[in-house]
């Protein structure tokens, strides 16, 4: 029986948010619509003069690819039209975008509209990542957004790969939906996803290994000595999706260039951490659970170690002993 993501979201809403007046499902449907628009452009990259940069740089100082701009506009447009949204926070925008100044807006959506976009020109999978928070009563602007990950109401990503897959959690398990191009709908393909308790691969950019802290080098050496393989696509959503399905561990450690890690807490680490934990995995920054971190800024970075419970726990043990100097 075909179950679309819309049907599934409505059911989750009835189970989870009975008081919601359809706002929650309307908001998630806005996100699925935006990702369908994005994937349609990605599938035609190269045909419609989409490749290459838009000639501008974003708030991160990164050259914006044309598809970055399109993806950001698609999400802002689709979610901005939903009555339940108070603020939108994008990797591409320095400040939150206020949608509803009244007290009507119940939700905040934090998102990376097109993560890994530099890979588009070489046809490597890219993704959209989002996190949904409740707006604290009476809170406005950045103060309303700076919430720890355990307060997320829902989180998800879309991986634009050999197929387009929408994965989300609303706190009651992780579900995956594959876009069926013939009907233009995301159809349930992975019910109640569970990350294997242990895997056999690690995923890290080893070009930075010389600047990794000692505990990371010790840990990776142990995994290699046990025969672990290395897989690194350089696109967070693709590397995480593989880890979710096959187990193992993804790491973005502190490096010389990014001493606090490269990945963003609010719209990369937190949503993926929510999904990982709901699927039985773990996500830490080294010394802290990712979802316990109290954000200080909306574009804040964090180290990220995320994956199967066994591998993340082993890293934490080494890192903790390293910190106490008893390694």
Helices (H), 167-235: 214-225
Q: Note whether 68 binds ligand P6P by CB under 6 A.
A: no
Q: Is 73 helix (H, G, I), strand (E, B) or coil?
A: helix
- In the list 82, 262, 301, 316, the residue contacting ligand P6P (rule: CB under 6 A) is 262
Min separation Cβ 211 and ligand P6P, Å: 12
CB closer to ligand P6P, 144 vs 263: 263
Rounded distance, CA 234 to CA 306, Å? 15
Min separation Cβ 233 and ligand P6P, Å: 8
- In the list 115, 277, 311, 319, the residue contacting ligand P6P (rule: CB under 6 A) is 115
Q: Note whether 116 binds ligand P6P by CB under 6 A.
A: yes
Q: Note whether 301 binds ligand P6P by CB under 6 A.
A: no
Half-sphere exposure of 210 (CA within 13 A, CB side): 2
Q: Note whether 247 binds ligand P6P by CB under 6 A.
A: no
CB closer to ligand P6P, 65 vs 215: 65
Give buried/exposed letters for 142-154 (b at 16+ CB in 10 A, else e): eebbbbbbeebbb
Strand bridging mode 164-169 / 249-252: unpaired
Helices 23-42, 5-16: axis angle to 10 degrees equals 150
Q: Which stretch binds ligand P6P (CB under 6 A): 26-34, 156-164, 169-177, 233-241?
A: 233-241
Q: What is the footprint of ligand P6P within residues 204-223 (CB under 6 A)?
A: 205
Min separation Cβ 129 and ligand P6P, Å: 9
Min separation Cβ 258 and ligand P6P, Å: 8
Rounded distance, CA 312 to CA 210, Å? 21
CB closer to ligand P6P, 66 vs 135: 66
Q: Note whether 118 binds ligand P6P by CB under 6 A.
A: yes
Q: Positive or negative, the Cα torsion across 132, 120, 81, 30?
A: negative
Q: What is the footprint of ligand P6P within residues 128-147 (CB under 6 A)?
A: none
The pair of structure tokens assigned to 201 is 């691969």
Q: What is the dihedral of CA 203, 206, 208, 211, to 10 degrees?
A: 90
Rounded distance, CA 29 to CA 297, Å? 28
- In the list 185, 236, 276, 298, the residue contacting ligand P6P (rule: CB under 6 A) is 236
Count of residues that interact with ligand P6P, criterion CB under 6 A? 9
In the complex, the residues that contact ligand P6P under the rule CB under 6 A are 115-116, 118, 205, 234-236, 239, 262
């Amino acid at each position: 029986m075909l179950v679309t993501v819309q049907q599934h979201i409505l059911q989750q809403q009835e189970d989870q948010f009975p008081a919601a007046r359809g706002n929650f499902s309307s908001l998630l449907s806005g996100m699925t619509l935006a990702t369908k628009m994005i994937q349609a452009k990605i599938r035609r990259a190269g045909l419609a003069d989409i490749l290459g940069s838009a000639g501008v740089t974003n708030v991160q100082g990164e050259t914006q690819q044309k598809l970055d701009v399109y993806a950001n506009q698609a999400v802002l447009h689709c979610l901005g039209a939903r009555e339940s949204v108070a603020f939108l926070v994008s990797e591409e925008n320095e400040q939150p975008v206020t949608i509803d100044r009244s007290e009507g807006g119940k939700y905040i959506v934090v998102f990376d509209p097109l993560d890994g976009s530099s890979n588009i020109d070489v046809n490597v999978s890219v993704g959209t990542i989002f996190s949904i928070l409740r707006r604290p009563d009476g809170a406005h602007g950045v103060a309303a957004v700076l919430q720890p990950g355990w307060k997320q109401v829902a989180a998800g990503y879309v991986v634009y790969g050999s197929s387009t897959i929408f994965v989300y959690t609303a706190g009651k398990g992780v579900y995956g939906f594959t876009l069926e191009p013939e009907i233009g709908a995301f159809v349930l393909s992975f019910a109640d996803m569970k990350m294997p308790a242990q895997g056999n691969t690690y995923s890290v950019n080893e070009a930075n290994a010389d600047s990794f802290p000692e505990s990371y080098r010790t840990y990776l050496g142990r995994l290699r000595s046990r025969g672990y393989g290395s897989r690194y696509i350089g696109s967070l959503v693709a590397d995480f999706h593989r880890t979710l399905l096959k187990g193992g561990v993804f790491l973005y450690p502190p490096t010389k260039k990014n001493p606090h890690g490269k990945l963003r807490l609010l719209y990369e680490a937190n949503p993926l951490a929510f999904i990982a934990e709901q699927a039985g995995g773990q996500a830490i920054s080294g010394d802290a659970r990712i979802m316990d971190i109290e954000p200080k800024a909306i574009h804040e970075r964090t180290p990220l170690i995320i994956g199967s419970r066994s591998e993340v726990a082993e890293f934490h043990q080494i890192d903790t002993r390293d910190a106490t100097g008893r390694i």
